[in-house]
Amino acid sequence: MKIFDADNWQEIFSALKKNKVRTFFTAFGVFWGIFMLVLMLGSGNGLKNAAYNGWGDFATNSFFMWTQRTSMPYKGFKRGRSFLFNNDDTKAIRQNIPEVQTLAPRLQAGGYRGASNVIRGKETGAFNIYGDYPDFMNIDPVTITKGRFINNKDITDVRKVAVIGNGVVDALFKKEEEPIGDYIKIQGVCFQVIGTFKSKKNGGQADRDANSIFLPFSTMQKTYNYGDKVFWYAITSREGIPASVTEEKVITLMKQRHKVHPDDDQAIGHFNVEKEFNKMEGLFNGIDGLIWIVGIGTLLAGIIGVSNIMLIIIKERTKEIGVKRALGATPMNIISQVILESVFLTTMAGYFGLVLGVGALGLIDNAMQGSGADNQFFLHPEINFSVGITALIILIVSGVFAGLIPAKRAVSIKPVDALRDE
């Protein structure tokens, strides 16, 4: 049978028009299955986009490491001993752990989550003060809005310069004032503003970044009498090497250098970003899998409906099929005709479901963006082009299967019996 034969298509349209209500409700089952599949997949992607947006451009192959009190005695030292990393540890990591890609020592005034008073003229505020190397931008980058970030020259020359977040700008400067080149006073020491930035994240972490100030690491050590102390490290692993492997090697080295018991898991705190990111990816992959199962189940119900209706149509056209067989139509002609009719019905219904589903996701996204709603938990619901193509392929294959049973029923009818059918 020729697919583009005008007579065949005229026959298909005629058969579907004979009972428009039945055709509509049969197609609606397939339409609804695809429509709901698209909406659910888009919603799943909305949750995923919001979660990933919360990370910004954070390096997912990274981990953080800091010191805590020891929990085991070792080499003459009692348990409960405190210690800190230092500049020699930084050199040792770079020299002994080739798996390390980026190493960023950090300081923070007031300790973890501590804030320091910052003054400019009559304005004042409490902000997060960090001492950093330029490499930190490779781990947790921000968007520089004016000026520049800290560079290696700032580190070697121990310059008193600062890069401030947009929240700091709003608190200390008026709209018409230019922060670049001006000075702010941090704990009694003046620093020249060389850059401003905004966070790439969203939610609470974005607010924290906005109210942060970056100083050169060496300057903060010297100015605030931190000596050679390092409060914690941000580290990324080389490509192809799991962060957990690099993390274990670095922690082992630090335990050796600071005479910490090899089995003391409390002495060095650490947070593996890669491990948490993989957990999140596994969660969303599970959600996607569940959505596909539910969506295909809904679609399958519609396909079964198409198959049942096609059986009824075959029964109604028994005499017509008998005439065709009597005039020389082969079983393959009859099977092809029935399957083509089934594929056409499922594909058209599914196509409209796909188009309207994508349209509905677009309307939801526009409505959320227009209303200024918080996108911390739901952002840009959408489906990938490949998903749409996959859905259409599923429709075509489903249409073929939906027509197989009716087609076999059609060719099983003997021409003589079909011509006698009333």
Question: HSE of 247 in the Cβ direction (CA atoms, 13 Å)?
Answer: 19
| Average pLDDT for 241-245 | 93
Tokens of 99: 């798996």
Q: Is the pLDDT of residue 1 over 50?
A: no
The answer to whether position 106 is within a domain reads yes
What is the pLDDT at residue 255?
96
Question: How far, in Å, CA of 215 to CA of 194, rounded?
Answer: 10
Q: Is residue 412 within 8 Å of residue 367, measured between CB atoms?
A: no
- The answer on 377 and 285 residing in a single domain is yes
- The answer on 332 and 236 residing in a single domain is no
Mean pLDDT lowest among 237-251, 347-361, 364-378: 364-378
- The answer on 238 and 90 residing in a single domain is yes
Q: Is residue 128 within 8 Å of residue 178, measured between CB atoms?
A: no
Could you say which of 257, 291, 314 is where a domain stops?
A: 257
- The answer on 32 and 104 residing in a single domain is no
Q: Is residue 96 within 8 Å of residue 222, measured between CB atoms?
A: no
Question: Is the model more confident about 195 or about 44?
Answer: 195
Query: For 163-181, how does the pLDDT look when each residue is reduced to its tens digit (9 = 90+)?
Result: 999 999 999 999 889 999 9
What is the pLDDT at residue 331?
67
- The answer on 380 and 284 residing in a single domain is yes
Structural domain harbouring 394:
6-56+278-420
Beta bridge partners of 163: 195, 214
Question: How far, in Å, CA of 201 to CA of 207, rounded?
Answer: 9
- The answer on 174 and 119 residing in a single domain is yes
The answer to whether position 70 is within a domain reads no
Could you say which of 257, 289, 307 is where a domain stops?
A: 257
- The answer on 326 and 225 residing in a single domain is no
Instruction: Read off the amino acid at residue 255.
Output: K
- The answer on 236 and 147 residing in a single domain is yes
What is the pLDDT at residue 89?
97
- The answer on 244 and 320 residing in a single domain is no
Beta bridge partners of 85: 230
- The answer on 377 and 320 residing in a single domain is yes
pLDDT band at 414 (very low <50, low <70, confident <90, very high): low
Query: For 90-122, how does the pLDDT look when each residue is reduced to its tens digit (9 = 90+)?
Result: 999 999 999 999 999 999 987 666 667 899 988
DSSP letter at 26? Answer: H
- The answer on 122 and 212 residing in a single domain is yes
Mean pLDDT lowest among 11-25, 121-135, 145-159, 312-326: 312-326
The answer to whether position 66 is within a domain reads no
Query: Total domain count for the chain?
Result: 2
Tokens of 2: 């020729």
